[in-house]
Amino acid sequence: MFFLLIIILLTTYYLYNQEITLLKIIDYKENNIIWEIKADEGDKFTIKYLHSVARTPVLEIFEIKNGEIVLTSTEYQSYGAGLPFLDEHQYSLENNKFIIREINKQLPDIMLRVSDYALHELIFENEIYKLYELTKDETLLEISTEKTNNLYHYNREVKGWLNQKTKNILKKTSF
């Protein structure tokens, strides 16, 4: 029994002192977490959407650096309203796409109004998250990072899992 207590205490101490970065998406108005995932240094994610006028894909590529979001590059297919045509960053034309690299702009967060028209998506670790399906049309989302510890993260994961299980049980037993 004493040995088990020591293992639990050491595990708790380790998880509490292990700092991690969470990448999360929050419904700004409701202050609800829509999605979150553990993000490691150097992880990249992309926000993809259709340009409102040109109706061509626009990709904004971000990287996690020192626990912060950094815009590293953009890709688009045509000059449209709101898209740059001259920039001081590394700019090239490849495979009929305009690419701006080495932007390296640190952002405290990304405010994004999701729409069914633009079909906003977040791509992380080869998984596509269709933001326009996760929220209502015209929802304002905040994409940000949060430095926390593993204990806090696992606690939130377990609570989310239990809430989902409870919802599933209630659905099965409702009249």
Per residue in 91-106, pLDDT tens? 777 888 888 888 999 9
Model pTM? 0.77
Q: How many domains does the chain have?
A: 1
Asked whether residue 2 is assigned to any structural domain, the reply reads no
Asked whether residue 99 is assigned to any structural domain, the reply reads yes
Asked whether residue 100 is assigned to any structural domain, the reply reads yes
pLDDT at 48 over 90: yes
More confident residue, 89 or 59: 59
Q: Which domain holds residue 45?
A: 18-148
Q: Which amino acid is at 149?
A: N
Token digits of residue 165: 């299980």
* Mean pLDDT, the chain, whole residue set: 84
The C-alpha atoms of residue 3 and residue 25 are separated, in whole angstroms, by 40
More confident residue, 155 or 117: 117
DSSP 104: -
Mean pLDDT value of segment 144-170 = 71
Mean pLDDT value of segment 35-58 = 91
